[in-house]
Amino acid sequence: MKVLGIETSCDETAAAIVDGDHTILANKVLTQLEEHKPYGGVVPEIAARSHMDHLDRLIREALDDAKIGFDDLDGIAATAGPGLIGGVFVGVMTAKAIAASRKLPFLAVNHLEGHALTARLTEGAAAEFPYLLLLVSGGHCQLLAVEDVGCYTRLGGTIDDAVGEAFDKTAKMMGLPYPGGPLIEQIAKQGNEDRFDLPRPLKGRSGCDFSFSGLKTAVRKKIIEIIGEGGNPDHMSALDKADLAASFQKAVGDVLIDRCKRAMDMFEEKFGRPGPLVVAGGVAANLTLRAKLKELTDTRGTKLLAPPVNLCTDNGVMIAWAGLERLRLGLTDSLDFAPRPRWPL
Ligand code: KG4
Ligand code: ZN
């Protein structure tokens, strides 16, 4: 069984092909980073136009890489939400056109379900249902019990910013370009994580919700102490930036660990074991945070399952795989499925 997956919900144009034997036959990802950089964030109109310009070519290249044609496919999957709706339309309309013209099943995939199921492609039997999922990306921050394809129980989520957003905003305040997450991780390596005393929002509270806006405000105050109100962040020394990045990352790590501990307790109560814990979404590319989560799962006698870094950030493989899992269960969609800008799991 082979499925083509299309991802266009944010600033990556991606097309990939996977098969039922867990093989990635093609994985094309084109990032629009340079196009959005001057604006300090993703501009929806630019994103949609850029997806239009490049998607057809990427699909063609994916088929070439897999050495197959459209007629060798068993299904066409596309992210149908949540996301920037102009981009989602481009992907969905393209997928529908291929599905209609080749008489293939169409699969409308929830982007979050793509992130949620990736570990089942890469980790195989270790990621049997049920598992605990920490989904941490630029737009999402949630803890979920994944019980089956299409069966997700939300244990907690952010009450304000997503964690990736907190990384990106912190970076922006320090004068670093978008997306700041990977840069913060990079410069934190040279920093002293104990120099700045930053809050750990909601740590120790019951439940497993997240909050990052207070942490962001605390970072802003530290920056003002260094460069003055309205000061130029370029006047921060490399050491100040590294120490602040490291202190910020440590605070985020402490919060994630605290919230995951609670989620593991809730998961254990329901399923009799605390994990495994699957980490997914762009922030899961952060190796320092992964190491902390690994310590936690080791302590709790369970496993951390983390897909390779390139499958944590947005890609077409995760959409193709989620589509394949749905196709196997007969969960196909009709061609009048309307894209959804908001679509909780
Ligand atoms: O999943 P993703 O590619 O797109 C969304 O669905 O949001 O996640 C992108 C987010 C951005 O906020 C980016 O800064 C963050 O993931 N990110 C990281 C790292 N790599 C990407 N955050 C922290 N450390 C990283 N290494
Ligand atoms: Zn994503």
Distance from C-alpha of 81 to C-alpha of 337, rounded to nearest angstrom? 11
Distance from C-alpha of 327 to C-alpha of 220, rounded to nearest angstrom? 47
Q: Is 167 in the pocket of ligand 1 (CB under 6 A)?
A: yes
Q: Are 325 and 120 in contact (CB under 8 A)?
A: yes
Q: Is 10 in the pocket of ligand 1 (CB under 6 A)?
A: yes
Where does residue 103 fall: left (phi above 0), alpha (psi -120 to 50 degrees), or beta otherwise? left
Q: Is 179 in the pocket of ligand 1 (CB under 6 A)?
A: yes
Q: Is 137 in the pocket of ligand 1 (CB under 6 A)?
A: yes
pLDDT for 52 equals 98
Residue 61 parent element (H or E): helix 44-66
Q: Pick the closest to residue 338 from 82, 152, 49 (CA basis).
A: 82
Q: Are 52 and 311 in contact (CB under 8 A)?
A: no
Q: Which residues pair with 153 in a beta bridge?
A: 145
Q: How far is the CA of 142 from the centre of ligand 1 (A)?
A: 14
pLDDT for 333 equals 98
- Nearest protein CA to atom 20 of ligand 1, as residue: 182
Atom number, ligand 1, closest to the C-alpha of residue 140: 7
> Class of the 2-116+312-328 domain?
alpha beta
Q: Which ligand is nearest to the CA of 12?
A: 1
- Which value does ipTM take for this structure? 0.98
Fill in the amino acid letter for 190: Q
Q: Are 213 and 160 in contact (CB under 8 A)?
A: yes
Distance from C-alpha of 338 to C-alpha of 35, rounded to nearest angstrom? 28
Atom number, ligand 1, closest to the C-alpha of residue 287: 26
Residues belonging to the binding site for substrate are 135-139, 168, 181, 185, 286
- Nearest protein CA to atom 22 of ligand 1, as residue: 181
Q: What are phi and psi of 147, to 5 degrees?
A: -100, -30
Q: Which two tokens stand for residue 166?
A: 């907190």
Distance from C-alpha of 136 to C-alpha of 268, rounded to nearest angstrom? 21
Distance from C-alpha of 264 to C-alpha of 259, rounded to nearest angstrom? 9
Q: How far is the CA of 284 from the centre of ligand 2 (A)?
A: 11
Tell me if residue 138 falls in helix, strand or coil. Answer: coil
The tens-digit pLDDT sequence of the chain (345 residues) is 999 999 999 999 999 999 999 999 999 999 999 999 888 889 999 999 999 999 999 999 999 999 999 999 999 999 999 999 999 999 999 999 999 999 999 999 999 999 999 999 999 999 999 999 999 999 899 999 999 999 999 999 999 999 999 999 999 999 999 889 999 999 999 999 999 999 999 999 999 999 999 999 999 999 999 999 999 999 999 999 999 999 999 999 999 999 999 999 999 999 999 999 999 999 999 999 999 999 999 999 999 999 999 999 999 999 999 999 999 999 999 999 999 999 998
pLDDT for 178 equals 86
Q: How far is the CA of 313 from the centre of ligand 2 (A)?
A: 6
Structural domain boundaries in the chain: 2-116+312-328, 129-306
Q: Are 173 and 233 in contact (CB under 8 A)?
A: yes
- Nearest protein CA to atom 8 of ligand 1, as residue: 282
Give CATH for domain 129-306.
Answer: 3.30.420.40
Where does residue 229 fall: left (phi above 0), alpha (psi -120 to 50 degrees), or beta otherwise? beta
Ligand 1, pocket-test mutation among 283, 288, 345, most atoms within 8 A of CB? 283
Ligand 1, pocket-test mutation among 109, 133, 137, 141, most atoms within 8 A of CB? 137
pLDDT for 40 equals 81
- Tell the residue number behind the tokens 């997240």, with chain if given: 210
Confirm whether pTM is higher than 0.90.
yes
